[in-house]
Amino acid sequence: MSYPSLEPRFIVVEGAIGAGKTTLARMLGKHYDARLELEKDEENPFIANFYKNRASTAFQTQIFFLMNRYHQYMKLAQRELFNSVVLTDFLFQRDRVFASINLKGHDLALYEQIYKLVENKVPKPDLVIFLQASTSVLMERIQKRGRSYENQIDAGYLDEVNRSLSSFFFYYSETPLLVINTDEFNFVEEKKAFQELINKINDHRIGREYFNPLGS
């Protein structure tokens, strides 16, 4: 049986904070000569205060992220998304996962109302790549990259995010899904593993698959 070529395709790379989403998205973007639409955490004016005291600006932080991500996805759709390979480092639904952690009561109920108004309008990816990593590995990576607004992240919150995303993707079935555990290797240093991933992406068509590079 012959399959159509990869292009056109909309690929999303996902994972917890520090999983390597942006790094992998950039590498895949270069390989496929794709258009990149990257998450813009640093543009959220509430994010620094959020990590210092989550309760103080949780609602503002989530609403800003929700609307910003919505506009990014809609911009992709308006630019003839399916005429070229497009890569993003965030799934639109991820915002709802974070909201379920950070918001309570009336704030969460209001968020849900807004979310439901926009969720069906955003384009769905052809493939989602979920990067798994243990919380300890995520903390090491966050500390190593040294972003000032992430210095306040505590291990307890990061572990909750990590577990929530893993749970979300355990039940995820909206699009083809490729799950990768990145604890033991990284694609920047292991070129052979990266090429194996490219082959897997080109072959993956339906359902869920787990990717483990040879020798990892």
Residue 179 domain-assigned?
Answer: yes
Residue 3 domain-assigned?
Answer: no
Residue 2 domain-assigned?
Answer: no
Residue 216 domain-assigned?
Answer: no
- The predicted model gives 100-112 an average pLDDT of 97
Structure tokens at 178: 């490729």
The CATH number for 150's domain is 3.40.50.300
How many whole angstroms separate alpha carbon 185 and alpha carbon 192? 11
**Count of C-beta atoms within a 10 Å radius of residue 12:** 25
Residue 27 domain-assigned?
Answer: yes
- The predicted model gives 94-113 an average pLDDT of 96
The answer on pLDDT for 8 being more than 70 is no
| Average pLDDT, rounded, for the chain | 87
Q: What is the pLDDT of residues 21-53, one digit of tens each?
A: 999 999 999 999 988 999 988 889 999 899 888
- Which pLDDT does position 2 carry in this prediction? 39
Residues in the chain, overall count: 216
pLDDT bin (cut points 50, 70, 90) of residue 107 is very high
- 213 burial via Cβ count (<10 Å: 0-12, 13-18, 19+): middle
pLDDT bin (cut points 50, 70, 90) of residue 214 is low
CA dist 36 → 26, 44, 87, 126 (Å): 7, 19, 5, 15
- Which pLDDT does position 48 carry in this prediction? 86
Residue 92 domain-assigned?
Answer: yes
- Which pLDDT does position 1 carry in this prediction? 38
Segment among 15-24, 103-112, 161-170 with least mean pLDDT: 15-24
* Count of structural domains within the chain: 1
Q: What is the pLDDT of residues 119-137, one digit of tens each?
A: 999 999 999 999 999 999 9
Segment among 66-75, 123-132, 206-215 with least mean pLDDT: 206-215
**What is the pTM (predicted TM-score) of this model?**
0.89
- Which pLDDT does position 13 carry in this prediction? 96
Please give the residue range of the domain that contains residue 191: 10-211
pLDDT bin (cut points 50, 70, 90) of residue 79 is low
pLDDT bin (cut points 50, 70, 90) of residue 148 is low
